[in-house]
Structure 1
Amino acid sequence: MALRKWPTAFGAVDYERLPAALEELARAHARRALACTGACEPLALIDQAVSIGACAEALLKAVLAAIDIHLVRGQPAGLETTLTLAGRPEDPDRPLPDLWTVGGLEAVQVLNRATPADVHLPEALLARIVTVRDSAIHMGFVDRAESERALTDLVVLIDRVLAIRRTLGQAADWAAFWSPTHLDRVDAVLRERAEPVVELSELSEDNLSLLLDAAVADADPLEVMAPVAGPPGWTARRKEAFLAFHRDRALHPTCPNERTFVITVGGRVVGAARLEPHGEEVEAGIWIGRSHRGQGIGGRVAARLRELAARSGARRVTAVTTPDNIAARRIIHTGLGARPHVEGDEVTGAAELR
Structure 2
Amino acid sequence: MSAHQSAALPRWIDVGLLPLWNLAIAMAAAGLVVLAIGQSPLQALTVLLQGALGNARGIGYTLYYTTTFIFTGLAVAVAFHGGLFNIGGEGQATLGGVGLGLLALALGPLLPAALLLPLLVLAAALFGMAWALVPAALQAWRGSHVVITTIMFNFLASSLNVYLLVNWLRPKGSMSVESVAFADSARMPALHEIAAKFGLELPSSPLNLSVLLALLACVFVHWFLWKSAAGYALRAVGSSPRAAHYAGIKPRWQIMIAMGLSGALAGLVAVNEISGVQGKLTLDFVAGAGFTGIAVALMGRNHPVGIILASLLFGVLYQGGVEVSFELPGFSREMVVTAQGLIVLFAGAMATVSAPMFARIYAAFKPKGAIHG
Q: TM-score range by the shorter chain?
A: under 0.3
Q: Which has the higher contact order (CA 8 A, sep 6+)?
A: 2
TM-score by length of 2: 0.23
Larger % of strand: which? 1
If each structure's helix is expressed as a fraction of its own residues, which one has the higher value?
Answer: 2
